[in-house]
Chains A and B, each alone.
Chain A
Amino acid sequence: QLQVVQSGAEVKKPGASVKFSCKASGSTFSGYYVHWVRQAPGQGLEWMGIIKPSGGATSYAQKFQSRLTMTSDSSASTVYMELSSLRSEDTAIYFCARGQFGYSSGPWGQGSLLTVSS
């Protein structure tokens, strides 16, 4: 049974970069996509982008095009999401989830909290 495990919380200063990992446990992401979604405190969900771990094809929301990079390892068991030029508005919980091309069918990771503060 696949479980998705995300890396821990991070605190960063404005202008810095952060890189979160998302690991498949019990299986791999092979044959699926991985979506990244974030949620600012008390706010709704915001879709950021998608990666196909087998092959590494990516697609990002236009809002994040210039500062978002998603990668995967060769075994398709771990994907990474790097966000650069951080600002306070990037403070949020970042979720990854296995899915189809269009939607996140799950399972979801537990979320990784990013705090951006000077």
Chain B
Amino acid sequence: DIQLTQSPSSLSASVGDRITITCRASQGIRNSLAWYQQRPGKAPSLLLFATYTLADGVPARFSGSGSGTDYTLTISNLQPEDFATYYCQQYYSTPGRTFGQGTKVDIK
């Protein structure tokens, strides 16, 4: 199975900050990467798929980039509702659509 390593595991930030989360795959995944947000006690929700494409209703302050094995999620102008845990997921290798271990974003 393809392994995904997210960094950092956690970070503290302030409202209005710009943050970047990295997801590194153990082999190339050809942009077959999605990002999810999970707030405490809630189900995850899709933010982006195919590396760059915003899911319906997701604000434009979320963006994705990357290629090969290295991908990033950037959140510009961090808002109070963005404090959550973020997961990347690859779907290049099936059946196992592995998740990264998560990055928790909390308030500084």
Question: Measuring CB to CB, which residues of chain A are less than 8 angstroms from any residue of chain B?
Answer: 35, 37, 44-47, 49-50, 59-62, 95, 97, 100-106, 108-111
Contacts and interface: CB of A to CB of B under 8 A. Distances in A.
A60 B96 CA distance: 7
Which of B1, B34, B97, B99 counts the most A-chain CB atoms under 10 A from its CB? B97
Contacts, number: 67
Interface residues of B, number: 23
Interface of B: 1, 32, 34, 36, 38, 43-46, 49, 55, 87, 89, 91, 94-102
Given A62-B1, A62-B96, A106 B45 contact: yes
B46 A106 contact: yes
A76 to B, nearest CB: 21
A81 B1 CA distance: 22
